Amino acid sequence: HPIEQIKRFKNDITRFMMMYKFALDQLETKIEILKEEFQYLHDYNPIEHTKSRLKSPESIMNKIGRKGCDFTFPSIKAHIKDIAGLRITCSFISDIYRIFDMLRNQRDLTIVEVKDYIENPKPNGYQSFHMIVEIPVYMSDRQEAVCVEIQIRTIAMDFWASLEHKIFYKYNEAVPARLLRELKEAADSATALDRKMERLHKEIESIKEEQAEDEVESFRR
Ligand code: 0O2
């Protein structure tokens, strides 16, 4: 019966999307653990904030159309790897690679793909560290390996990307040349700021280390 078929299809979509939600929940817990432990060990927090999102069914459909893959759940799962997305914002560039290393060392995570737009920024100036990871999700009747796209960036990179995203959509993708030029300049300024902040951060960290060593020394004497 068509009504029954529609009900079953709706149920399948909900379960399909739930799988991605569970993958995100698990990753967010992992990040929270890393954050708390790192704060305890180093008295410093490399993560400013995290934001997760599930791609809307409409945007999944558009991407299937663009990629030309089949409208079946296994095909969507195999071809669309950013249905679940997690964005991690850090203060400093070195934190980005530190988080990447911490995630890379987790045995239940498989790194499927890495795109380093910090080493190789996009021509428009976009910078961010992207990775696709696969995480096992255990459900009542099965286990699935689920892909999540993780974007790690600094506050300055995030600031730039959100403005660029707004402008891109406002002009319906046909952004005037002057704005594109100014956006590229703004991306260069963001890079300069990130580098300067990193340098200052390192300087402060080494002063802190020296002070700690002095304290140990005076305690010994
Ligand atoms: P949304 O709404 O953020 O999800 P692929 O996914 O591999 O088919 P692509 O473009 O090769 O496509 O993936 P890539 O380069 O890893 O980029 C995917 C995501 O990065 C985008 O997702 C954006 O979130 C972000 N991104 C990439 N380039 C830019 C850019 O030039 N400006 C901004 N602001 N963000 C960018 P979606 O699906 O486009 O959108």
149 is catalytic: yes
pLDDT tens for 177-202 read 999 999 999 999 999 999 999 999 99
pLDDT single digits (tens) 56-78:
988 998 999 998 888 889 999 99
Specify the length of the chain in residues: 221
Predicted local distance difference test score (pLDDT) of residue 208: 84
Q: What's the confidence (pLDDT) of residue 220? A: 77
Which residue of 82, 86, 116, 127 sits with most ligand 1 atoms within 8 Å of its CB, as the best mutation to test the pocket?
Answer: 82
Q: What is the pLDDT of residue 100?
A: 97
- Residue whose structure tokens are 């100036």: 125
Which pLDDT score, from 0 to 100, does residue 20 have? 98
Q: Which helix (H) or strand (E) holds 214?
A: helix 177-220
Kindly give the parts of the chain with pLDDT less than 50. none
> Which numbered atom of ligand 1 lies nearest the CA of 165?
34
